[in-house]
Structure 1
Amino acid sequence: MPLDHYVSLGRSGLRVSPLCLGAMTFGEDWGWGASVADSEAMIDRFLARGGNFIDTANIYTKGHSEKIIGDHLGRHPAKRDRVVIATKFFSNLYSGDPNGGGASRKAIVSACEQSLRRLQTGYVDLYWMHSWDASTPIDETLRALDDLVREGKVRYVGFSDTPAWKCAEAQVLARFLGQAPVTAIQVEYSLLERTIEGELVPMAREHGMGITPWSPLKSGVLTGKYRREEHGRHQAGRGEWATRALDERAYAVIDLLGELARELGTTVSRVALAWVMGRPGVSSTILGARTVAQLEDNLGAADVTLTPAQAGRLEALTVPKLDFPHDFVANNASFFQGGTTIDGRPAAPWPLAPKGDDDRW
């Protein structure tokens, strides 16, 4: 799918590119990341290729990520209006301030105003709750977000890193009260992290939420630069984020990705990204890069198409262990459903495969 073949984000009219430029790497304030010049170059290259979706957060590089985007795009209305800018609230930038973070009305409104100043824009296209705040009632969070939408400071609302049951509760409550719905969820998803297929994926598809995976290359593990024979000697840019994922299972996946990359005449990272992009319910996959060269390589994933057989080989290596009652129900489908079949397969709830031509989302 070319970068300029835009897709609807969930059950909304917001059109985004199938790949999203993640801005967690913008700025060197955390000891790793891209310089301002390299960040701006990546933005320009992404937009030139047809991408229109950029994702950041108030906490990324201590707010510097938002400022880089604001300096380069926000202060130029002609550029800004062509881009879908997403940012997040929740993280506390003020040590010792109990209201400096979280999902209360006070924290949300304050975080939004600060992000707008750093981004140098009057509105955020997509405003994510970065994580679930268990100490704040979800109805308070939803009312605050709906007020921001009504004021024109936010266009759409999304949830990141939040349990499926809480996302579902919020969506039903928002619809019942006529408030801004949860348009999308942002979750970790890769060949090495598939547990979201148990609850979050079917929940999102049922409730019309687009899925925007983060870390589709598992912090660089699935780029092809890590080899089994070099285990223990890797110097990963993000430290344990990458090295703790390097085990025999990961190396088996890397080996197969390399084999498929050779078959397709492409790179390991593109094959890994193409698998994520093709999963049921996925709207736009978030890329992280520190150089234009890395970005160019990743953008090439839009031109890679895996055959069902190739995708099946990857999936067979990475079948997730889902929580109860998934395995129990699947293993006893015949008992529960009397041996009936629907659409040519045993009847069972929570199908993970695409629903087919009647798939509404």
Structure 2
Amino acid sequence: MTAASPTDPPLNSATTLLGPGGPSVTRLALGTMTFGVETEQAEAFAQLDRYVEHGGTFIDTADVYGQGESERIVGRWLADRGHDHLVISTKGRFGAAAGTPGASRRALRRAVAGSLSRLGVDALDLYFVHGWDELTPVEETLDTLSALVRAGTVHQIGWSNVTGWQLQRIVTTARLGGHVVPTVLQPQYNLLDRGIELEVLPVCLEESLALTPWSPLAGGWLTGKYQRDSRPTGATRLGEDPDRGVEAYDVRNTDRTWRILDTVTSIAERHGRPPAHVALAWLLSRPAVASVLLGARTTEQLEQTLGAVDLALDEDEITALTRVSDPGLPPYPYGMVEDFCGVSHWERLGVRPS
């Protein structure tokens, strides 16, 4: 195992609680979606080693990543290296490895059992339901998760990829029904996509849920590696698949994106840092954000982002980034509510300066 450089900022110099009563974790987490798909086991082990050498304590995976191979790789690494000081989270809902999709009692019990086996652990520190299940009553999902917590199989629960009304229904149902209440949400959140600030973030603030955002660099866009007038090519995610999901080149190649990137780059140059550090520092300054998931194909890419932990932007820089990335509000009902209240939706949340 290669020792970290003395000049590397330790990740454990900045820690936070993962929701009310949750464990203390580092503010930069390691996401493992690439493991077993874009990143082979040897390179995945190198990433995990490097992350822990830097002081990282929070590793996130899911049963859907690589059809379960990501969990298997993490499990083999844990078996070899030990993991008592680490917080491990995984997710289930889509049945990629368990063979049973959904968040029903049967599906979740199978999914959790499969994740425990692949990770080689006795209990999951944090278990996320990976998305809303319109076919299963949320009471059944919560009852199943609560039973798993009471049995000691799962320590803490969360959700991912839900709307505001869905999240509020989950939390309210849990409280009224005497179930275990979710304490963490894992959404997409970054300078290019601030959609959760409309309804999801207000619920998190109201209900004291911590955020662990995925895609903090917008699929590589906020690293500055893509160009306005040149479609990506080569060994990058968009180079291999320009139409890839929410980060597709034609979807994000907009004037707003380039205005944001110009501001990110300007601030990065002022600090002598890569653009990714600025984007991550802005996200870490947002309300409710506890820990941000870093994902990388290679150890070199991971190294480029780990140093962001010690970058503190000043108030003017945060204001500039927040204003240039302002997505705007639909005039109804938000505009009308602002008129009634005399304060803007964003200011009330503390996510946009006046």
Same fold (TM over 0.5): yes
Cα distance in 2, alignment partners of residues 170 and 269 from structure 1: 34
1:316 corresponds to which residue? 323
Which runs of 5 or more structure 1 residues have no equivalent in the other structure?
A: 340-345, 356-361
Instruction: Report the AA paired with residue 126 of structure 1.
Output: L
Aligned-pair RMSD on alpha carbons?
2.1
Instruction: Choose from 344, 347, 351 the match for 2:348.
Output: 351
Partner in structure 1 of residue 148 of structure 2: 148
2:299 is matched with: 292
Counterparts of 2:221 and 2:322, CA distance in 1: 17
Structure 2 residue identity aligned to 1:212: T
Question: Which string of whole-angstrom CA distances, capped at 9 and with x for unpartnered residues, describes residues 187-235 of structure 1?
Answer: 0001000011111111101101101111011101111111224x22444
State the AA in 2 paired with 1:83. Answer: L
In structure 1, give the amino acid aligned to 2:293. Answer: I
* Counterpart residue number, 1:189: 189
Q: How does 1:179-218 map to 2 (within 5 A)?
A: 179-218=179-218
In structure 1, what is the Cα distance between the partners aligned to 2:281 and 2:275? Answer: 10
From 249, 255, 280, the counterpart of 1:273:
280
Q: Which residue of 1 aligns with 2:33?
A: 24
Structure 2, unmatched stretches of 5+, are 1-8
Q: 1:257 aligns with which of 261, 264, 285?
A: 264
CA contact (8 A) 1:205 1:281 kept: yes
Alpha-carbon distance in structure 2 between the residues aligned to 1:221 and 1:249? 12
How much has 1:249 moved relative to structure 2? 1.7
- Aligned length in residues: 334
Partner of 1:303: 310
Q: Provide the rounded CA distance (Å) in 2 between the counterparts of 1:56 and 1:162.
A: 18
Q: State the Cα distance separating 1:104 from its structure 2 match.
A: 0.3
With structure 1 as the length reference, what TM-score do the two structures score? 0.87
- Are 2:322 and 1:325 aligned? no
Are the equivalent residues in 1 in contact too, given 2:125–2:154 (CA < 8 A)? yes
1:282-311 Cα distance to aligned partner (Å, 9 max, x none): 000111111111111111111111111111
Letter in 2 for 1:325: P
**Percent of aligned positions with the same letter in both sequences?**
38
Shift of 1:172: 2.1
Work out the CA distance in 1 between the residues paired with 2:315 and 2:105.
47
Is structure 2 residue 240 aligned with structure 1 residue 232? no
After the TM superposition, list the runs of 4 or more consecutive aligned residues in structure 1 that deviate by more than 3 angstroms: 233-236, 321-324, 346-350
Task: Give the structure-2-normalised TM-score.
Answer: 0.89
The reply on whether 1:38 has 2:57 as its aligned counterpart is no
- AA partner of residue 91 (structure 1): F
More helix by share: 2
> Contact 1:195 / 1:322 at 8 angstroms: preserved in 2?
no
Q: Distance in 1 between matches of 2:351 and 2:306?
A: 25
Tell me if 1:91 matches 2:90. Answer: no
Distance 1:128 1:233 in 2: 33
* 121 and 282 in structure 1: CA distance in 2 versus 1, 3 angstrom threshold: same
Whole-Å Cα distance in 2 between the matches of residues 212 and 15 of structure 1?
A: 13
Equivalent residues of 1:9, 1:184 under 8 A apart: yes
> How far off its partner does 1:152 sit?
1.0
**CA apart distance, 1:2:** 5.4
Partner of residue 66, structure 2? 61
CA contact (8 A) 1:89 1:129 kept: yes
Distance 1:210 1:6, change over 3 A: same
Q: Residue type matched to 1:24 in 2?
A: M
Between 1:310-319 and 1:167-176, the stretch displaced more is 167-176
**Alignment check: 8 A CA contact 2:161 2:187 kept:** yes
Which piece of structure 1 moves more, 346-355 or 283-292? 346-355
CA, structure 1 residues 147+350, in 2 after alignment: closer, same or farther (shift >3 Å)? farther
Deviation at 1:128, TM superposition (A): 0.3
User: What code does the residue aligned with 1:44 have?
Assistant: D
Whole-Å separation in 2 of the counterparts to 1:315 and 1:25: 30
Report if the CA contact (8 A) 2:33-2:70 is conserved. Answer: yes
User: For the Cα contact (< 8 Å) 2:11–2:26, is it kept in 1?
Assistant: yes
**Residue 347 and residue 219 in structure 1: after superposition, are their counterparts in 2 closer, same or farther (change >3 A)?**
closer
- CA shift at 1:80, angstroms? 2.0
